[in-house]
Amino acid sequence: EVQLVESGGGLVQPGGSLRLSCAASGFTFSSYWMSWVRQSPGRGLERVASIRHDGISKYYLDSVEGRFTISRDNAKNSLYLQMNTLRAEDTAVYYCAKDSGWYRFDTWGQGTQVTVSS
């Protein structure tokens, strides 16, 4: 069974940092682009960051560029999102998603809540 399981969310103060992790199973992780997609009531769904199967190419939402870093460890079938200098507007449920081409997200994790508040 293809599965993605996120972890690492929580409550953090503005300006703080969090590292999200996503454990993948049931497919050849090293063959696929992977993305982080977030969802909040005010901003809807947003693709936050994407990384190529070999980790060489990375793309970011403009508002997180320079603050967030996406990475992967194909040996561990894991995807990461390092989030620094967090802002209130980063509050959302963060999903890990498998991309089967042209941003076709065919598998999603269960999501992890990130809340940025003092």
Partner 1 sequence: QSALTQPPSASGSPGQSVTISCAGTSSDVGAYNYVSWYQQHPGKAPKLMIYEVTKRPSGVPDRFSGSKSGNTASLTVSGLQAEDEADYYCSSWVGTNSVIFGGGTKLTVL
State the Cα torsion 22-25-26-32 to the nearest 10°. Answer: 50
Give the residue, chosen from 59, 63, 74, 78, that forms a contact with partner 1 under the rule CB under 8 A. 59
Binding mask 19-48 for partner 1 (x = CB under 8 A): -------------------------xxxx-
Measure the CA–CA gap between 27 and 77, rounded to whole angstroms.
9
User: Closest CB to partner 1 among 16 and 61?
Assistant: 61
Minimum CB distance to partner 1, residue 22 (Å)? 12
> Environment class of residue 63 by beta-carbon count within 10 Å: exposed (0-12), middle (13-18) or buried (19+)?
middle
Residue 109 as a binder of partner 1 (CB under 8 A): the answer is yes
Residue 67 as a binder of partner 1 (CB under 8 A): the answer is no
List interacting residues with partner 1 (CB under 8 A).
44-47, 50, 59, 95, 100, 102-106, 108-111
